[in-house]
A and B are shown apart, each in its own frame.
Chain A
């Protein structure tokens, strides 16, 4: 007992965390890679940490092992919330070769992720459209995102916008998707008058789903670049801008007009999906990770459009983010993991899995072959939307990803208060900006 007490006292004398071995800043290796790394021919076991509920990772892993018989997988799965909490500890104590990543700033700050610049060069990832990798680049020290070295890779990238129920749209005479925000407003008003629920959305618990329409409205009223700068924690960036205020006021108008369900503050994501699929709700602000699911459950009855701009003919923007995976700084089989990530983006079979199982656009060069999709399906719509966003350069990260805690601790409570009439649009933006500043400074 004395020994135990003595041990804990000794540990108590040092500052917490000082005992952890800190990898030195992961500098690029002295000699650049001469040849693209592979998984070799010797038997090799890749240790992976995946998110539960995403069949795409399992499908890709199985196909990779089929094509590379020497590779076997050792896969662990958890809910995303669990991964978010465990990521630093797992990467520090038992680094996986491949891991689904939460917000990466903190991980890079603590040197827990492998710098992928060398792989990017040797595989030619740096020749891909820059916007695909932008969100996974971090300046030295992890302070600012959107520039600097590459620390993660996507398996595909998702696209968000507005899904609509075609049958209900027919009831209010909407035959083509709205071209402007005014068109959308008119459709919402018509739906309300017809006794339909205009918008299916969730805003309960710790995930305020009204952030989806809010960010879409922000992109309708203003350019996406300043929003991205805010998410990337560029010095001096603010969310409290005049065009964002207009967007928040517009959202408040929708709330007051009764376009959302009355109990929206108690609706979680799963409830929203089941109600929308049952036909309760004309529009739903969501992402293409549901494309495959909706094509199956509402076959022929489901459409998708990108958020229309405030001005006719204006550029479109959308939240679009890669399904991020990283390699542990001290991973044993980093080369093989990198080869896998490259294979996911370039192998024809892998790209087909990415679209069919994942529902989203694969990563890779702009001219890479696209697998065929069913004509008229919503998957076809969302893939086409991805192409338009690329042309309009309108990809934004999600405002909920600015810091690790901004969604649960700031956007969500403030949006819930806005619904209940306990917060003003101006107060909402000021409150979120204040939380952001304290988190960026403190984090």
Chain B
């Protein structure tokens, strides 16, 4: 009798999960399965597809243009991930020290603002700032650096870093806020104890703040690495992958392949490779930064 009730209760649990599970299957699992399926065909998106085996995957790794796009995404990690996390830590630590003042509130708002602005608007604004007559070049000229001014997004050597700077600007706010939230959780007694032991600000930061933020840093790094690898909007708005293919990233390449070259199979194969790459990057980060105490 008791076992039967137990079982019924289990069933009721599944019933509650069902709507969400159905959505997950229809909108996540099924598209994923279809992408894997498409990646094995040669298909223009309309007519009947032809079986293509692993040919599409071979092209992803042998076509220099496609492979270069993957490399560009890896380079973007420096800007999208390393810069916001390191800078975010420094800014969060600074804001925490002046937490009570009005300046802290202003700083928090200003730094988080890019997260609120739509990426497309940010991309357009930055393409103005970085244009040959934009604010960045005006400032450089004003301080006598006219020699280095250029169309930052139209120059082969600076287009990708310039896109990276936009990404760093967008993601800095998110990281700062997450880290600041994490810092407010740290027991103030720890700092007090450290200070009694004669620790300075730097020692406090490296011995207390940084270790306590392990999980928050993990979230920051994961989110920003995924943003770098899967970047699309910022690149699409600011450079469209140009000049040449200097700032081409996999997300944009997939879009071009599927909708302008109508090579749905190849686009799907690149998408699968990108998915695997994202998981391969995210899993170790999760493992490294998980909370060992629990």
What is A's interface to B at a CB cutoff of 8 Å?
1, 4-5, 8, 11-12, 15-18, 20, 22, 84-85, 88-89, 92, 106, 109-110, 112, 203-206, 261-267, 404-405, 408-409, 412-414, 416-417, 419-420, 422, 439, 442-443
Contact = CB atoms under 8 A, between A and B. Distances in A.
Interface in B127-151: 131-132, 150-151
Contacts of B25: 1, 4-5, 8
A85 B259 contact: yes
B18 interface: yes
Given A1-B22, A109-B47, 15 more contacts: A4-B25, A8-B34, A88-B44, A88-B46, A88-B262, A204-B243, A205-B240, A206-B240, A265-B154, A265-B242, A266-B155, A266-B243, A267-B154, A404-B261, A417-B244
Interface in B33-86: 33-34, 37-38, 41-51
A420 B25 CA distance: 48
B275 interface: no
B154 A263 contact: yes
A85 B260 contact: yes
A263 B154 CA distance: 7
A89 to B, nearest CB: 8
A15 B41 contact: yes
B47 A17 contact: yes
Nearest to A91: B46
A412 B240 CA distance: 11
Contacts of B152: 266
A371 B240 CA distance: 41
Contacts of B263: 442
Contacts of A92: 46
A8 B155 contact: no
Contacts of A262: 132, 150-151
A84 B260 contact: yes
B49 to A, nearest CB: 4
B6 to A, nearest CB: 22
B244 A405 contact: no
B264 interface: yes
A264 B154 CA distance: 8
Contacts of A12: 33-34, 37
Contacts of B41: 15-16
Contact of A420 (B21, B33, B243): B243
A112 B46 contact: yes
Q: How large is the interface on B (under 10, 10 to 19, 20 to 34, 35 or more residues)?
A: 35 or more
A413 B155 contact: no
A337 B233 CA distance: 38
Given A262-B151, A265-B242, A420-B243, A106 B262 contact: yes
Given A4-B22, A408-B260, A17 B245 contact: no
Given A1-B22, A16-B41, A8 B30 contact: yes
B11 interface: no
Contact of A110 (B42, B46, B153): B46
Nearest to A102: B260
Contacts of B34: 8, 11-12, 16
A105 B112 CA distance: 48
B26 to A, nearest CB: 6
A20 B44 CA distance: 13
Contacts of A85: 259-260
Given A8-B30, A15-B51, A263 B256 contact: no
Task: Name the residue among A20, A89, A413 with the largest chain B CB count within 10 angstroms.
Answer: A413
Nearest to A85: B259
B36 to A, nearest CB: 9
B155 A265 contact: yes
Contacts of B132: 261-263, 266
Nearest to B156: A420
A206 B48 contact: no
16 contacts: A17-B47, A88-B44, A88-B262, A89-B45, A203-B243, A204-B243, A205-B239, A261-B132, A263-B131, A263-B154, A266-B153, A266-B154, A266-B243, A405-B256, A408-B260, A416-B244
B241 interface: yes
Nearest to B43: A16
Given A16-B38, A422-B156, A206 B241 contact: yes
